[in-house]
Amino acid sequence: MRSIQLITSQLGDELQSKIYSGKTVYFVTSFSMKSGVEMLTAPLRTAAGRGADIKILTGDYLYITQPEALRKLLSIHSNIEVRLWKSKGVSFHPKAYMIETAEHEHFFVGSSNLSASAMSKGIEWNVLINDEKEVFEEGTEEFMRLFYHDQTVPLNGESLIEYERNYQEFHRKHDNLAKKWTEQEEVQLMLPSDKNEEPEEMVQETPAPYTAIAPRCAQIEALEELEKTYEEGYRKALVVMATGLGKTYLAAFFAKQFKRILFIAHREEILHQAERSFKNVIPELTTGLYNGVVKKSEADAVFASIYTLSMKKHIQRFNPEEFDLVVIDEFHHAAANTYQRVLEYFQPKFLLGITATPDRNDNRDIYGICEGNVAFRIDFLQAIGHGWLSPFQYYGVFDETDYSQITWLGSRYDEEELLTLQLKKSYADKIIEAWETYKQKRTLVFCSSIRQAEFLSAQFNDSGYRTIALTSKPIGMSRSKVIKMLEQGQLDAIFTVDLFNEGVDIPSVDTLLFVRPTESLTVFTQQVGRGLRLHENKEHCVIIDLIGNYRNADVKISLFDQEESKKRGDKESVIPTTPASCTLHLETRVVDLLAEMALKKQPRKDALKDAYYALKYELGRRPSYVELHLHAQLGAKPYYDEWRSYHRFLYEIEDLSEQENKAFLEYEDWFKEVEKTQMSRSYKMVLLKAMLEKGPSQWYKPVTAVEVAPYFHFYLTSEEFRKQIDFSGKSHQQMWEYKEKKVANLISTMPMSKWGANGIVTFDEGRFKIHLDIPKDLEEIVYEFTKEICEYRLKRYFERKAASN
């Protein structure tokens, strides 16, 4: 077999023969046609049936991909994972097919998209690279980064409906795609990459300023809380610590008690830094990297790339119970599918998530992954108050740009429309004036695009300053070299986009300049953290922020506020109350703008509906009550506050089937009873859960305390935290050992006798009865709705109790 071949025709035949015996099959194409999918359906179905790891990524660029092709991909086999790249107007042109069989690795890359003409008779050039392991590994690693990128969405019933709607609308408005295609700049065709430097060249995390490797500052209390959480029987926990407080060192201190450790991150420099930190804390620890280049899996502590572990062939090299401790760094990424698959696979004794920015407005999901258990939390304002981070002086400068005229694409503004306004000398002059007024010596400037960063850097240089645009584009100089120049005073400013959000720190930076609309509160918080590390030559950090009428402007300002709630719309209320060592200055027009924006906030019910549909779209189905609580942007409680019931909400937005509507209306009084009954302890819901164990047709039948006692006791003692919360105190500790009479007596006293509202529930002559008469055709629905409410209430109850302990 030749190691490299040029294929100019009949690519489909080559792919078919290899897919049939493939163990790993990864496709990325800029567009897909039904004809191409049909050509490969049979081999894909066969390989999927054998359990092959099959992932297909295709794009929505210019809406060339046919909805029929996507529908066909969904129908082939449930084991095939398909994601759609949301191009947002920027070209998406990759075409590659990676297939690994038992004997060989085949990497096709070239011009052929997933269409019959490209696979058979069309004039196409593709290169097949055989058995070049290093190239294949690099290709699959990059594919995984692309496949689970923030700009991708899972293809499911809900996302397909949206794509079809957008497809039809786009083609109604545009009937000349070829002209628009050729107008795209070639530089836009490539996904930005950070791989223009080797990991060892990256700026290393500044060591903590102490000689003895021991917990310090916030780490001391955080470690105590983690130890307590572990001792109480929790298996998962989240620690939220502001950037600069030593999250990685905290994880290393906690890891001392575990034999085998897996540390997962999404950036190479984070893995290298973490490995060094763990070795500093535990010198005798053997460590190894497991990423796209190095795969050392036998060490005491393995530091793994999430993209490598996301591949079936790599994750299955490990036993699910191989690691005692799994640490997820930058845990706010953990809601992504890459992490979900890994977290579902591994079953450690303890899962620790660490992050500085778990903002629920961006990604509430992460709380769900740790089952709502936040062991310790300290934000940057609290850390500043303790003297552990640098104080700041914030200057809000009015931005006259009218962002309401720029198209909003769901998660960001249209880049071309935004650039039309940003790439003006008058706009640059305004930025330079604000910077000159407030700046100190070393500045990081955060821009919204590479072109803006390059434009502004040139404008600053024309004004006599020394600046460089440091982005994912190569500039003939390493990142570490540019950073060193800034630290040594050879540069006044570095213009960047997202390079400094995570993993790279420059403690000497004393000025931050924001010239971008805030789209993500998580990203904004990360970027603010770049200037808050303590440094001997820095008394405070200056933050210069251009504030316009863009989305999240008013919410962003609230991040600097120590007071959690203020009257909406009052001019005084929009000005944050900062720590005593910090100052905040807002231009008058900024104050007026924020007050106006607060008054125009989206009505609460509309916001809740949008959050619900966003989650439904991501899941591809209606979320359960617990899923709404754990994963929805605003949580589940606001739905109860507004509608008094999750299922009433579903009824009003017409998201129930005809049978579900019938069941809800018929038994709404019962659902309300379960939803609102008082719970000083969990016992009512545990009793109901015990009854639900009997199944859809029997759960509401009369029971005695003796009948439910075994499950009641098992549920409350199977997890240490439940036992400590609801079997605490001298009178209840005797219940830790199962004794039927005592447990049954407790159940009879409470909760059986504490229900009884509206006559729906009675407890008479030792028998607990729910007075429901449910026809056969509605039994399953009433059962499922009741179960949803019961599980949600138990989830919220134990979360609240754990947080207050």
- Over residues 342-357, the pLDDT tens digits come to 888 999 999 998 888 7
Overall average pLDDT of the 726-737 stretch: 68
Which of 73-87, 405-419, 789-803 shows the lowest mean pLDDT across its residues? 405-419
Could you give the angle at the alpha carbon of 398 between the alpha carbons of 392 and 400, nearest 5°?
150
Region of residue 410 (phi > 0: left; psi between -120 and 50: alpha; otherwise: beta): left
How many other C-beta atoms can be found within 10 angstroms of the C-beta atom of residue 425?
10
Burial class (CB in 10 A: 0-12, 13-18, 19+), 426: exposed
Taking each helix axis as running N to C, give the angle between helix 157-173 and helix 604-619, from 0 to 180 degrees, rounded to the nearest 10. Answer: 110
Nearest-angstrom CA–CA distance, 519 and 415: 12
Could you give the angle at the alpha carbon of 731 between the alpha carbons of 726 and 732, nearest 5°?
30
- 293, 137 Cβ separation under 8 angstroms: yes
Region of residue 42 (phi > 0: left; psi between -120 and 50: alpha; otherwise: beta): alpha
- Over residues 238-294, the pLDDT tens digits come to 888 888 888 899 999 999 999 999 999 888 888 888 999 999 999 999 999 998 777
Confidence (pTM):
0.64
Per-residue pLDDT at 449 exceeds 80: yes
What pLDDT, on the 0 to 100 scale, is given for residue 186? Answer: 28
What pLDDT, on the 0 to 100 scale, is given for residue 207? Answer: 40
What one-letter code names the amino acid at 774?
I
Task: Choose the CATH number for 4-189 among 1.10.3720.10, 3.30.360.10, 3.30.870.10, 2.40.50.140.
Answer: 3.30.870.10
Percent of the chain with pLDDT over 90: 51
What pLDDT, on the 0 to 100 scale, is given for residue 604? Answer: 78
Which one has a higher pLDDT value, 559 or 426? 426
Report the relative pairing of strands 703-704 and 767-770 from DSSP bridges.
antiparallel
- Over residues 29-70, the pLDDT tens digits come to 999 999 999 999 999 999 999 999 999 999 998 888 999 999
Enumerate residues 6+ apart whose C-beta is below 8 A from 444.
493, 494, 496, 500, 506, 509, 511, 512, 513, 527, 530, 531
What pLDDT, on the 0 to 100 scale, is given for residue 732? Answer: 58
Nearest-angstrom CA–CA distance, 475 and 596: 43
Could you give the angle at the alpha carbon of 383 between the alpha carbons of 380 and 385, nearest 5°?
115
- 222, 241 Cβ separation under 8 angstroms: yes
The reply to whether domains 205-378 and 392-599 share a CATH topology is: yes
Taking each helix axis as running N to C, give the angle between helix 11-19 and helix 34-49, from 0 to 180 degrees, rounded to the nearest 10. Answer: 20
> Where along the chain do its domains lie?
4-189, 205-378, 392-599, 656-804
Give the helix/strand (H/E) hosting 126. strand 126-130
- Over residues 734-778, the pLDDT tens digits come to 678 888 998 999 999 889 998 866 789 999 999 999 999 999 999
Nearest-angstrom CA–CA distance, 784 and 210: 56
CB under 8 A, 24+ apart: contacts of 293-301: 293/134, 293/137, 293/138, 300/259, 300/260, 300/261, 301/255, 301/260, 301/261, 301/262, 301/263, 301/275
Nearest residue to 695 via CA among 760, 780, 793 = 780
Confidence of residue 710 (pLDDT cuts 50, 70, 90): very high
Confidence of residue 563 (pLDDT cuts 50, 70, 90): low
Q: Which CATH class is domain 205-378?
A: alpha beta
CA atoms within 13 A on the CB side of 505: 21
- 474, 533 Cβ separation under 8 angstroms: no
- Over residues 124-163, the pLDDT tens digits come to 899 999 999 999 999 999 999 899 887 888 999 888 998 9
Under CATH, what is the fold of the domain 392-599?
Answer: Rossmann fold (3.40.50)
Tokens of 215: 């917990």
